[in-house]
Structure 1
């Protein structure tokens, strides 16, 4: 009887060790997935400082998330998120659709840069939307999923996000390439998206990125075009007559909205 008890104890220890080893790699794998999977979607660099996720509660954080600027823009980055809090429905992880209860982002730093071809955020959002369209077209041409190494069809990751909330976003807007020295700083109104991917098969990570970036780009352009544009132009140090100032404001508004 003692030998049976010993075997059971050894098995429990081994199982616990394997589970701990697997869980200890989750943070690293998520971080790697973000840094490798996101750049092809947005067509610019993406880095993450750290990921911390509890596999038991489903709560965690993504720290130091940063999106670089696309080609043609001079700023070092387009967006920096110090910390994003999230909560997963752990029971959904083994299913066809991973349910994220919430993603909460506080005080991200957003750098909106206007150029002759539009803004950096608009470029990044369009890159994500184009990626989604290309994936949809490819899926339509080949409805049969590619087989995995074990012969079973690969399943693409699908998500459902019940709530995504961005509060206190710090926006720095500039048109330095057009009006040297011009810049403005504003705080964006809260951005709240709900029920993304609900009521169906869900959305892909690329679709989630495209929707969020498109909304941020829109809100940033609104704030820049309607908020501190007059101060932005006057802050450039360039003397503009009243009529010229109005024309300048209207011109830069168009650039931010492109």
Structure 2
């Protein structure tokens, strides 16, 4: 009887160790997913320094998230988030729809750069919209079920849906410049808070691409509003007269 008990104990320990290892790798899995899944959506480089998530509470942070600039823009990046606090519903991690209780982003750096063909933020936002539109069209052609890229074994991967109960962006620092026209000149502003709630409620949820597109569209819209007034407007108007394009006129509401 004792040897049976010992075997059971060993099995329990091995199972617990396996579960712990799986949970401990959750941050790396999320990091890999962001860095591999986001670039096709925004059509530019995306990097993350690290992701830390507690296997017990589901809380943690994404650190050093950065969206690079599209081709034709000179700045090192368009968006940089030093730290984003997240909280997951741990019971949903193994299900088809992952529930994110909240995402809190504080003081992100938003670099708006105007060039010959509009702004970097508009390019990135449009890329995300186009990606979502293409995915929606594909889903419509397959009976409404979005098909992900096949895995290494040739079998189609199941698309993971999300639900975000609250997403809050506060203290976003906007810096605007005109690419190649006003070297070293820029203007700064703080964007109003952006709060989104109850995203992806219902069985269908929201895809990571849809969430990315929605957030980028909000940021791009607020940046455009800020650029239509004050020192940002003066800077962009000065550069726009040299660029002689309609992109900046649209940005400034003209």
TM-score, normalised relative to structure 2: 0.87
| Closer/same/farther in 2, CA of residues 48 and 251 from structure 1, 3 Å limit | closer
Q: What does 1:155-234 correspond to in 2, within 5 Å?
A: 155-229=158-232, 232=235
Per-residue CA deviations over 1:126-185 (Å, capped at 9, x if unaligned) read 101100111111122223658878998743111111111000011101124344544101
**Count of residues in Structure 1 that have an aligned counterpart in Structure 2:** 247
2:62 and 2:28 mapped to 1: Cα distance?
11
Q: Distance in 1 between matches of 2:64 and 2:97?
A: 26
Corresponding residue for 1:142?
Answer: 142
Answer yes or no: is the 8 Å Cα contact 1:129–1:210 preserved in 2: yes
Comparing 147-156 with 219-228, which one deviates more in the overlay?
147-156
- How many angstroms apart in 2 are the aligned matches of 1:73 and 1:40? 18
1:95-106 aligned within 5 A: 95-106=95-106
Give the C-alpha shift of residue 233 in structure 1.
6.2
Name the CA distance, whole Å, in 2 between partners of 1:161 and 1:58. Answer: 14
2:245 matches 1:254: no
Instruction: Give the secondary structure class of the aligned counterpart of 2:10.
Output: helix
Q: Deviations 1:195-251 (Å, cap 9, x if unpaired)?
A: 1111341110000000000000000111111232355369x8x9xxxxx9xxx9x99
Q: CA deviation at 1:252?
A: 4.5
- 2:91 is the alignment partner of 1:91: yes
Q: List runs of 5+ in structure 2 lacking aligned partners.
A: none
User: CA separation in 1, counterparts of 2:153 and 2:142?
Assistant: 20
| SS of structure 2 residue aligned to 1:228 | helix
Query: Structure 1 regions of 5+ residues with no counterpart?
Result: 239-243
Counterpart mapping for 1:236-255 below 5 A: 252=248, 254-255=250-251
> SS of the residue aligned with 2:168?
strand
Give yes or no for contact 1:101–1:162 (8 Å, CA) kept in 2.
yes
**Residue in structure 2 matched with residue 241 of structure 1 by the alignment:** none
Q: 1:15-41 deviations in whole A, cap 9, x for unaligned?
A: 122112212221111111110111000
Which of 110-119 and 150-159 deviates more?
A: 150-159
Distance (Å, rounded) in 1 between the aligned partners of 2:249 and 2:185: 13
> Which residue of structure 2 aligns with residue 56 of structure 1?
56
Root-mean-square deviation (Å): 2.8
Task: Name the CA shift for 1:107/1:12 in 2 (closer, same or farther; >3 Å).
Answer: same
Larger radius of gyration: 1
Match of 1:17 in 2: 17
CA distance in 1, matches of 2:155, 2:179: 53
Matched residue SS, 1:82: strand
